[in-house]
Amino acid sequence: MKPLKILFADDDLKYSMLLKRFLEKEGYEVTYAGNGIIALEQFPLVKPDLVLLDINMPGCNGFEVAERIRETDKHVLIFFLSDRSDKADRLQGFQLRANDYLSKPFYPEELMARIRERFTLQLSDTVEEETYRFGQSVFNYSTNEIRTGNNKVLITSRQADILRLLAKNLNLSVDRDLLLNTAWGSVSYANSLALNVQITYLRKALRNDSAVKIESLMKKGYVLKIMI
């Protein structure tokens, strides 16, 4: 069996090297990144099974790194390791779809126990593909793919979350605030503008299917409509 790959991002070098050596002694393959920017550069190269993130890092903090990762990969496990233990920080971490949050200081053995627990659950779960059919297209939420005939389009995880909600309510209006809370975890002006952009990308992704259209409903939301 191949060793578990871990991408570990933390700007505290001394602490990080101690934890890295501990994890490697347990048989894990660990790639260290000294800040969030390096972590984002390493992520597509390492293709880790688990990402360990400190929050307070220069250049790009842990929350920002997790958000960027989740835009393209909703399956990789993400653990936050941080001395920020406030309720608001923990909630923000889980809103970004982190799988765990450990407050520093913690015993390395506690981290090991949580890693083993998560991967045991992951291996024991039967993963079924979640697909939606509309018009001439098949949308695979599990892989972020839209297939229309011989054409395949890969969308981001955030776009997949939006399209999933629209597909579940085919030909029905989906409230704008519900879309914002589903994709971003909060309603704000900035997120509202971002939603407009993501809808534009989704329309482009569906342009091969003349039977499908995403319509805007003034001051209400959007509807994924089958054109008869």
- CATH number, domain containing residue 175: 1.10.10.10
Do 9 and 110 reside in the same domain of the chain?
yes
Do 137 and 119 reside in the same domain of the chain?
no
Over residues 103-154, the pLDDT tens digits come to 888 888 989 888 888 877 655 554 567 899 999 999 998 788 999 988 889 8
Do 139 and 110 reside in the same domain of the chain?
no
Rounded CA separation 114/81 (Å): 12
Do 43 and 89 reside in the same domain of the chain?
yes
Worst-scoring range by mean pLDDT, 7-16, 79-88, 125-134, 155-164? 125-134
Q: What is the pLDDT of residue 67?
A: 92
Do 76 and 113 reside in the same domain of the chain?
yes
**Locus of tokens 């389009």:** 153
Do 86 and 33 reside in the same domain of the chain?
yes
Answer whether 201's CB lies under 8 Å from 191's CB: no
Instruction: Encode burial over 29-65: b for 16+ CB neighbours within 10 A, e otherwise.
Output: ebbbbbbbbbbbebbeebebbbbbbbbebeebbbbbb
Please provide the distance, in angstroms rounded to a whole number, between the alpha carbons at the two ends of the chain.
52
Do 22 and 109 reside in the same domain of the chain?
yes
Question: Which of 102, 124, 146 is the last residue before a domain boundary?
Answer: 124
Using a 10 angstrom Cβ sphere, with 0-12 exposed, 13-18 middle and 19 or more buried, the burial of residue 162 is buried
Rounded CA separation 108/119 (Å): 17
For the chain, how many structural domains are there in total? 2
Do 92 and 183 reside in the same domain of the chain?
no
Q: What Rg, from alpha-carbon coordinates, does the chain have?
A: 20
User: Among 101, 165, 106, 99, which Cα is nearest to 130's?
Assistant: 165
Do 117 and 189 reside in the same domain of the chain?
no
Over residues 35-84, the pLDDT tens digits come to 999 999 999 999 999 999 999 998 899 999 999 998 888 888 999 998 88
Do 95 and 160 reside in the same domain of the chain?
no
Residue 44: give its domain's CATH number: 3.40.50.2300
Do 114 and 32 reside in the same domain of the chain?
yes
Do 105 and 157 reside in the same domain of the chain?
no
Average pLDDT over residues 167-179: 92
Q: Could you tell me the residue range of the domain that residue 171 belongs to?
A: 131-226
**Helical (H) or strand (E) element with 138:** strand 137-140
The answer to whether the predicted template modeling score (pTM) of the entire model surpasses 0.85 is no
Answer whether 55's CB lies under 8 Å from 80's CB: yes
